[in-house]
Amino acid sequence: MNEIKDDIYWMNKAIEQALKAQEIGEIPVGAVLVVDNKIIAKGWNHSIIDNDPTAHAEIIALRKGGKHLKNYRLLDATLYITLEPCVMCAGAIVHSRIKRVVYGASDIKTGAAGSFIDILQHPGMNHKVEITSGILGEQCSMLLSQFFKKRRAEKKQLKQQRSATLTVKSE
């Protein structure tokens, strides 16, 4: 396979992880860590259900990958992520010495792979990570958009129910 076909294949695997997050009410972000054309670790967001701000898909995949390789250095690994990594995840990626990051959707508010800030290739960092962006980006963006649209609708409905309950009680 060529690199683009490989990237699409592995990003589809990351999307499968994002769907697992969505099924449990988490923001649908998924990640897979690939070495020698094999998945060595997977992750999806767990921040909400674990009450853990560090339980991002990337962090979970990095932790599992380190255990799998019995090394915190994940040399020659490629991390596929459905959403551009945040600053926390980008720092962990640099520290782990990941060779390459491939992500789907950009995040202009908090993306740390070039959209908001570029931690992965910052000149002051002692390790630079190769970046490929936009692989299945539309599909990854759509997952996130649909999730937040549904969440806003649920909050609106809850607010309306509370308002109706207060109106009934005051009458």
- State the binding site for Zn(2+): 56, 86, 89
Beta carbons of 114 and 144 less than 8 angstroms apart = no
Beta carbons of 5 and 11 less than 8 angstroms apart = no
41, β-bridge pairs: 33
Tell me 119's DSSP state: S
Distance CA 112, CA 118 (A): 5
For residue 73, how many C-alpha atoms fall within 13 Å in the half-sphere facing its CB? 3
Token match 């002051």: residue? 124
Report, as residue numbers or ranges, the catalytic residues.
58
Binding-site positions: 56, 86, 89
